[in-house]
Amino acid sequence: MCFTPRHFSWILFMFLLTLQRVAPGGEAGVWPMPRKMSEGSERYALHPQGFSFRYGRDSSAQLGCSVLDAAFRRYFALCFPENTKIFNDDFNIVSFVIVMLCGTCKPKCLFLLILQRYSGLESFSQLIYQDDSNTYYINKTEIEDFPRFQYRGILLDTSRHFLPVRTILKTLDVMAYNKFNVLHWHVVDDPSFPYQSQSFPDLSNKGAFHPQSHVYTQADIRKMVSHARLRGIRIIPEFDSPGHTQSWGKGQPGLLTPCYKGLHPSGTFGPVNPTLSTNYNFMGRLLKEVSTLFPDPYIHLGGDEVDFSCWKSNPDVRMFMKKMGFGTDYGKLGSLYFKNMMNIIETLNKTSVVWQDVFDYHSSPKSLDVVEVWKAGCYMCEVRRVTAAGVRVILASPWYLDQVLIYFCAGSGTEHQKRLLIGGEVCLWGEYVDGTNLAPLLWPRASAAAERLWSDEAQTSSVSQAYPRLAAFRCKLLRRGVQAQPLFVGHCKHEYEDL
């Protein structure tokens, strides 16, 4: 059996290493911290020339499972950085398989029992270390692990700056090292529209920074989705509306609301015009295309920071409000917009995510699927309000990387409410971020959040205990070529060098 992870489950995996004993003395540590891990002092030499990952006889997956075959090639390179070329093949997901590892140190073999997926290989690779003579070792280790939250995300913003495809692919690699499993892709926004639509090519022809060099083609997106899938990562696209849509207006006349100054149009435009059925037709066709490209069951509809003032200024909108009996409550107009949008999403058999703003102005907030809480202040109050309405929550507030990182205290409310908090995500907004600085801004700061989202809260509450482990993990990232910035004064055995 060879499958790809679409839905999430609480997962258990375990290493059982029984190997020829060599000598004591490991370093290592695994980031994020596993639920249970006992590392013995017996260490075993691993010889890259004679080492291989093999499928166990009882393994449900066998040779020919392309996802896993590729994972073995990739993790071979990650385990033995000095002895391997980089394999560009894809990899991932081990499901109830036994993997057998044999070194040259026969006759005994290393048995790796993995009761779940990529995280097993990742943790295994982090346990391997080198002594001063560069011999590779692993200590006898037993691990039992599963994630705290099913949703462990990172938001990237490709509208304020264009991120090269290669930068995004590399970020997906490092996400897998950190056991992140969701890329929330904030594709478009006011400054630019880099998504190249087949149905509406003018959106990027006129709305991207550049219609050829600063767009994501459908082929680019398929490549990203595939790259992510093989690493156990979902990509959730966000097409934020009705606000944050200035760039859309260039290629889709009539979409945005003309703002008025007194009796005359001011020449500027506001949010999507919610009074026109043509706009819902357009949205339906665009999102249908998007939902085909992105297999993930979630689509993020945005909905944050809708400025009602332009709607208020427009006489047609005011007339519509009157006709609908909305009075002067423009939240009702926003609700209507989202009801229509969610109908579209429903016909596409998808689940919608919206920013917390929609929950706050929506007239029937209980009808929402998933709400993402992003505002600072008492964000756990907002989480409780949303879960009390029986709606699932993704929490982003504590992990806006332009702010100071704080640890959040999860799970207040009833047990049912706690279960509705499905996870959280790190938001790297794009005002000051592009391919030049994304990696050092993201890593290892997002790694701290990765542990909050994966590991047991009680076991990881001490920052002073986490520090050396995170510093060691950051050195491992350097060894893998990731431009992860330092935590503080210190050094790694292998420093980053831009060659």
Q: By CB under 8 A, name the binding residues for a copy of itself.
A: 160-162, 164, 166-167, 170, 191-192, 209-210, 213-214, 430-437, 439-440, 478, 483-486, 488-491, 493, 495-499
Taking Cα atoms as reference points, which of 290, 280, 275, 278 lies closest to residue 238? 290
Q: Which tokens sit at 156?
A: 């990237």
8 Å CB contact between 129 and 137: yes
Is 142 one of the annotated active-site residues of the chain? Answer: no
Name the minimum Å distance from CB 463 to a copy of itself: 17
CB closer to a copy of itself, 62 vs 485: 485
Tokens 């990203």 correspond to 224
CA nearest to 231, candidates 157, 169, 163, 184:
169
Contact 372, 355 (CB under 8 A): yes
Q: Judged by CB, which is closer to a copy of itself: 128, or 484?
A: 484
Query: Judged by CB, which is closer to a copy of itself: 3, or 432?
Result: 432
Question: Least distance to a copy of itself from the beta carbon of 311, Å?
Answer: 25
Residue 342 or 482 having the CB closest to a copy of itself: 482
Least separation in angstroms between CB 483 and a copy of itself: 5
At closest approach, how far in Å is the CB of 207 from a copy of itself? Answer: 13
**Token pair 């037993």 in the structure block, residue:** 142
**229 three-class SS:** helix
Nearer residue to a copy of itself within complex by CB, 100 or 492: 492
Q: Distance between CA atoms of 17 and 410, rounded to whole angstroms? A: 35
Q: Residue 295 contacts by C-beta under 8 Å, 6 or more apart in sequence?
A: 6, 225, 229
Q: Is 489 exposed, middle or buried (0-12, 13-18, 19+ CB in 10 A)?
A: exposed
Least distance in angstroms from the C-beta of 11 to a copy of itself? 32
Question: 230: which residues sit within 8 A by CB, 6+ positions away?
Answer: 4, 67, 70, 71, 90, 91, 92, 93
How wide is the angle at C-alpha 202 spanned by C-alphas 200 and 208, nearest 5°?
A: 115
Q: Would you say 191 or 242 has its CB closer to a copy of itself?
A: 191
* Element (DSSP H or E) covering residue 472: helix 463-479
Q: In angstroms, give the least distance from the CB of 30 to a copy of itself.
A: 22
Residue 212 or 461: the one with the smaller Cβ distance to a copy of itself is 212
CB of 239 to a copy of itself, least distance (A): 19
**Cβ atoms of 337 and 275 closer than 8 Å:** no
C-alpha gyration radius of the chain: 25
Closer by beta carbon to a copy of itself, 191 or else 423 = 191
What's the distance, Cα to Cα, between the start and end of the chain in Å?
41
Instruction: Tell me whether residue 208 is exposed, middle or buried, using C-beta atoms within 10 angstroms of its C-beta: 0 to 12, 13 to 18, 19 or more.
Output: buried
The residue from 82, 305, 346, 495 that is catalytic is 305
Within a 10 A sphere around the Cβ of 408, how many other Cβ atoms?
A: 16
Minimum Å gap between C-beta 238 and a copy of itself is 17
177 vs 179: CA distance, rounded Å:
6
Residues acting as catalytic residues: 305
